[in-house]
Structure 1
Amino acid sequence: MRALMQSLPLYKQVYEEIKTSILRGEFKPGDKISVNKLAEEFQISRTPLREALRQLQKEQLLEQDQSGSKIAQISEKDFNELCTCRLVLEKELIKDVISNIKEENITEAEKLIEMAELSLKKEDQIEFLEYNSNFHEILIDACTNERLKDLLNQVRAKLLLYRANVIQRAGEGTEILAEHHAILKAVKERHTENAVKTIESHLTNDQIRGKKVLEDKN
């Protein structure tokens, strides 16, 4: 882990470092987090470290039990149920988005796809994941149904670990980008039926890609 800078709050730097390590697979689902070990590595007190861990718990990357903090994990059953929920929610969300998304948001989504393509060429997996997540967040933000957005964000947070592992597989990033292009094309054309079909295809493929990750871990 790299040295921390004094210009940023310590807890934020530690949070970013641990999150990146989780998404890169340096920590595995179910691994326990040693507060003492991390405090020693970062050479900081436990107060900013605990704040960083609390933030990771909010994002559902960490779980807390009687033995302490550990990297979140979900079973294959949980994964399939979450994918089903995500599919139902995003199909409803895209219908609302078609009617309400602004042209400047569509332009921003186009730029994010371009930046994701550059990240893929650089083989920067974390950056690629961030741009792809931001692409979906633009669509989510354009939805006017706040309850729907909250539910979807909860589901997506739980699936983040597996999305991070998916992009490490050869060829998966190219497929994901092609699917995002198809979704955005339907959104730009304000074609609700095509938008629903492309979202359904993308999320069905995401579930298949995620199952491969689960199989690799078993």
Structure 2
Amino acid sequence: MTRIIKPESLHLQAYHILKEEILEGEYKPSERIVEAKAASKLGISRGPVREAIRMLIQDGLLTYNEGYVRVYTPTVQDVVDIFQCRESLEALAISLAIYHITEVEKEQLTNNLQATYQAYEQQKTIELGKLDQEFHDIIIHASKNKQLKELLEVIRTKIHYMRISMVKGEFYPSFVSEHERLAELLFKRNEAEANELMKQHIKKGLDGVLMHIEKAQSR
């Protein structure tokens, strides 16, 4: 069982532990989070847990209603809404990255694409998922926009949770060739086409998630 390390900030440790447990599916949608129980599990007082819960409510992973704290239960409309936000923000990210990307980040994208092709040929689904996220993270970081990075971190967390809670992590899009084209347009500084392709790329991801949600709900 994961427990708190005393010398470090207690509420931040509690926050990260609870967040990880939610994202890994240890807590189910709508499940109640009891402050005293969580504090006992972590071996700390209720104060730091209370602050951690407040932070998770701000993240949107927990909700407070009628005096109870529960794990967020996403709806299909929530999925559509969050992907619409992601679409606009990641299109902005690649537009900014065109003007701010470094040679080191270009090399990171190239290495990512090579690793992605290898994982794809070997059908390593888990590895592909990590490489997919890494590709987008490199572009977002290359935007050099701190506020944009923070907004997209919240969105990424919620999308991950939605996939775990609604389709049990089964969703996985085909993206290899699109990533290659996005990198090509980025390197050529073709902002208009890169921006549009990123929007199409995110929309395709939304279509895939919705398709898998429909399948999961029909079982």
After superposition, the Cα gap between the structure-2 partners of 1:88 and 1:123, relative to the gap in structure 1 and judged at 3 Å, is: closer
Name the residue aligned to 1:184.
183
Query: Structure 2 counterpart of 1:96, which letter?
Result: L
Residues 89-98 or 176-185, more deviating: 176-185
Q: Does residue 1:100 correspond to 2:100, yes or no?
A: yes
After superposition, the Cα gap between the structure-2 partners of 1:133 and 1:10, relative to the gap in structure 1 and judged at 3 Å, is: farther
Superposition pairs for residues 132-211 of structure 1, below 5 Å?
132-133=132-133, 135-143=135-143, 155-164=155-164, 168-169=169-170, 172=172, 175-176=174-175, 179-211=178-210
Residues 30-39 or 56-65, more deviating: 56-65
> How much has 1:33 moved relative to structure 2?
1.0
Q: Which runs of 5+ in 2 are unaligned?
A: none
Q: Tell me the secondary structure at the aligned position of residue 96 of structure 1.
A: helix
2:58 and 2:175 mapped to 1: Cα distance?
Answer: 27
Q: Tell me the secondary structure at the aligned position of residue 31 of structure 2.
A: coil
* 1:78-136: CA deviation from partner (whole Å, max 9, x where unpaired): 32133223223332432232122222233344566759x6xx959489xx55x654543
1:3 and 1:182 mapped to 2: Cα distance?
Answer: 45
TM score, norm. by length of structure 2: 0.72
Query: Structure 2 counterpart of 1:69, which letter?
Result: V
> How much has 1:2 moved relative to structure 2?
2.6
Residues 39-48 or 89-98, more deviating: 89-98
Q: Does residue 1:87 correspond to 2:91, yes or no?
A: no
Residues 25-34 or 138-147, more deviating: 138-147
* 1:180-201: CA deviation from partner (whole Å, max 9, x where unpaired): 4443343233333442354234
Query: Structure 2 counterpart of 1:196, which letter?
Result: N
> How much has 1:207 moved relative to structure 2?
0.5
1:84 and 1:93 mapped to 2: Cα distance?
Answer: 14
Superposition pairs for residues 11-90 of structure 1, below 5 Å?
11-90=11-90
1:58 and 1:187 mapped to 2: Cα distance?
Answer: 34
Q: 1:56 touches 1:62 (CA, 8 Å); kept in 2?
A: yes
In percent, how many aligned pairs have the same letter?
A: 26
2:47 and 2:111 mapped to 1: Cα distance?
Answer: 38
Q: Tell me the secondary structure at the aligned position of residue 69 of structure 1.
A: strand
2:57 and 2:72 mapped to 1: Cα distance?
Answer: 9
Q: Which runs of 5+ in 1 are unaligned?
A: none
TM score, norm. by length of structure 1: 0.72
Give the alignment's Cα RMSD to 1 decimal. Answer: 3.7
Q: Tell me the secondary structure at the aligned position of residue 26 of structure 2.
A: coil
Query: Structure 1 counterpart of 2:107, which letter?
Result: T
* 1:27-83: CA deviation from partner (whole Å, max 9, x where unpaired): 223222111221222222112212222232232222222323222233212321332
Bigger radius of gyration among the two = 2
1:135 and 1:183 mapped to 2: Cα distance?
Answer: 10
> How much has 1:155 moved relative to structure 2?
4.5
In the alignment of these two chains, the number of paired residues is 212
